[in-house]
Amino acid sequence: ERVYLIRRGAVRLSRVYESGEEITVALLRENSLFGVLSLLTGHRSDRFYHSVAFTRVEMITAPAGSVRQAIEADSGVGLLLLQGLSSRILQTETMIETLTHRDMSSRLVSFLLVLCRDFGVPSDRGITIDLRLS
């Protein structure tokens, strides 16, 4: 029922199933959106998600109805939302490609490269991924 925009930091978004099992569906960074399903469908989602901050996070949040009104009033807001959703689709496609590698070492290398690109901080010793991942 709300839309969230991450202004700073990193968030893990996971899907919680009725069995209690939790699966990570996205690792989000600055300027990433989530909570847009209710905005697009006009209904409360029957999917249950859980978000956890990996780092210190600053977010902007607004009711889905207010965001919908802003889109209707200003097409630029709709364009920004579309850009955010496109970014999430590309991230999902990249993750699917990463997970379809046949052997574990290839999947790990591909995943580390994605993390370096999206969350890496260059230093004189290489690239640091400052996220607590299991």
- Tell me how crowded residue 132 is: count the other CB atoms within 10 A of its CB: 8
CATH topology for 2-129? Jelly Rolls (2.60.120)
CA atoms within 13 A on the CB side of 59: 21
Which tens digits make up the pLDDT trace of 70-88?
A: 989 999 988 988 888 888 8
- pTM for the structure as a whole: 0.72
Q: What's the CA gap between 49 and 61, in Å, rounded? A: 16
Q: What is the dihedral of CA 24, 30, 35, 39, to 10 degrees?
A: -140
Weakly modelled stretches of the chain, pLDDT under 70: 37-47, 134
